[in-house]
Structure 1
Amino acid sequence: MNSNLKLNNRDRAVLLKAPFLAGLSQEILVRLMSAMTVSTLPARKFVAREGEPADAFYCVLSGYVRLFRLSREGREADIMVCAPGDTFAQCLLFGENAYRYNALTAEPTTLARFDMQAVRELAQQEPEIAKAVIASISRNLQDTIDCITNDRLFTAPQRVANYIVSRCPAEVGPASIRLPFQKNLLAGMLGLAPEALSRAFSSLRKAGVTVRGRIIQVGDVQALRESDASRTR
């Protein structure tokens, strides 16, 4: 791991557009970034482990981080996949002092690490920082509610179809997208077992969806959107 790296232009742009930081004044940004270090980690490296003391929260600058919990039997339950611009563990700033899940890099990843205690002290001094943290936690809560709703209301093919449609560059006609990560990570992101994801892709063939590795091709985006397989009707 390389620590205390300087931000390159791309990573700086991602960081400043992150919901947690967007809208903060320049003066506050400088103070907040004084509590930050930048690190690069290889794939499959633990950033945090469930139960460990929570001494930092993170913003993903590049790569992906998988958040999950383990049962006593060793079964894994995916919580979310954090993409560039996503922040995780900031909810612990005002709550518990131990991580509630495991965070594992899915590929080589660059992270902005914010020291928990330093940001806590800054938030007490600067209401603007406290408001930004609360707003970030609120967005995460809304995303969690949406995720639970999708799990309860929609079938596996519907979840996969909605994911595909939401990422197609065109509204109608043929389209092609490339998954940004391995399919097993997509399965966890959508709350599916890998075999359930494979079955969902198979069922979507009749709606014009074909999968080759990470490439997903759609015969007609509008037709997929209006099909029984999709919830976006």
Structure 2
Amino acid sequence: MNKLLRLNSREKNILVKTPIMASLGPSALTKMLDLATAVNYESRDILFREGEEAESFYCVLSGYVRLYRLNKDGREADIRICGPGDTFAECLLYLGPNYRYNAQAAENVTLARFDIARVRAAAEQDVDISRAIMQSLANHLLTTMDCVANDRLQTAPQRVAHFLLTSCPKESTSASIRLPFQKSLLAGKLGLAPEALSRAFSALRRAGVTVRGRLIQINDVNALKQI
């Protein structure tokens, strides 16, 4: 396993602002910071595999982590793309004992690692920690329900348009967006095959969307809203 390090001041400042930590009181926050260690992975490193014993859950401090499953034929299905501030695998505090999916660094990443057994013990003693974990799990549930609804109610171009609109500055009439990750990851995030993502971008040209690598130009935000 990669070497575990104490969080430096910059990493602590990032961690305390993440959703799972931001609602904690001073005492609970100190306990959780004491339980966190920093770990770095290079692009394409495997953090853990489905079925392995679950020892840790993580919070992304920088970079992106891909969560996915494999079928018996080796086909991959993306479950979630986790970016800065996102936590994953904390559900195993209560479900355990094994990871339910694979996790891979999509690029070089820095993570805060939490030992599941130690956090479980802390949550049993501190209601603030327990409440923060439950709130994180509830947010994951609502996000998952939204993803399922969007998969069933939106076409591929509509999913892409929704993602682009959420990335546009408020009140803007046009925008230039640089994707924070490769388009293959965006496809997985939106539940699309890479070729379906390409077709969706092609369909959005009539709404004034042009794509050059990771750079996406939106000439008319209002037209995009009508997709």
Q: Give the structure 2 partner of residue 7 of structure 1.
A: 8
* 1:5 positional shift: 4.2
Cα shift at 1:3: 2.3
1:28 corresponds in structure 2 to 28
Match of residue 51 from structure 2: 51
Q: Contact 1:68 / 1:76 at 8 angstroms: preserved in 2?
A: yes
The CA distance in 1 between the partners of 2:17 and 2:206, in whole Å, is 39
Superposition map of 1:52-67 within 5 A: 52-67=52-67
Separation of aligned partners in 1, 2:194 and 2:139: 28
Deviations 1:8-31 (A, max 9, x none): 42x323211111111211221111
Q: Separation in 2 of the partners of 1:28 and 1:94?
A: 19
Give me the whole-angstrom Cα distance separating, in 1, the residues matched to 2:200 and 2:63. Answer: 26
Structure 1 unaligned regions, length at least 5: none
Match of 1:195 in 2: 195
Compute the RMSD of aligned alpha carbons.
Answer: 1.1
Q: CA deviation at 1:164?
A: 0.6
Structure 2: 5+ residue stretches without partners = none
2:163 equivalent in structure 1 = 163
* Paired residue type of 2:56: A
Q: Secondary structure at the match of 1:103?
A: strand
**What is the rounded CA distance, in whole Å, between the counterparts of 1:169 and 1:35 in structure 2?**
37
Q: Which residue is equivalent to 2:121?
A: 121
Relative to structure 1, is the Cα distance of residues 129 and 6 closer, same or farther in structure 2, using a 3 angstrom cutoff? closer
Distance 2:9 2:204 in 1: 41
CA contact (8 A) 2:66 2:105 kept: yes
Query: Whole-Å Cα distance in 2 between the matches of residues 120 and 62 of structure 1?
Result: 25
**What number of residue pairs does the alignment pair up?**
226
**Aligned match of 2:88:** 88
Q: Which amino acid aligns with 1:186?
A: L
Name the TM-score, length of structure 2 as normaliser. 0.96
Q: Deviations over 1:44-89 (max 9, x none)?
A: 1111110000100000000000000001111111111001000000
Q: Percent identity?
A: 54
TM-score w.r.t. length of structure 1: 0.94
Q: Deviations over 1:136-180 (max 9, x none)?
A: 100000000000011011000000011111111253422100000
Cα pair distance change 1:172/1:126, threshold 3 Å: closer
Cross-structure match for 2:72: 72
Secondary structure of residue in 2 paired with 1:34: helix
The question of whether the paired residues in 2 share the 8 Å contact of 1:57 and 1:88 is answered with yes
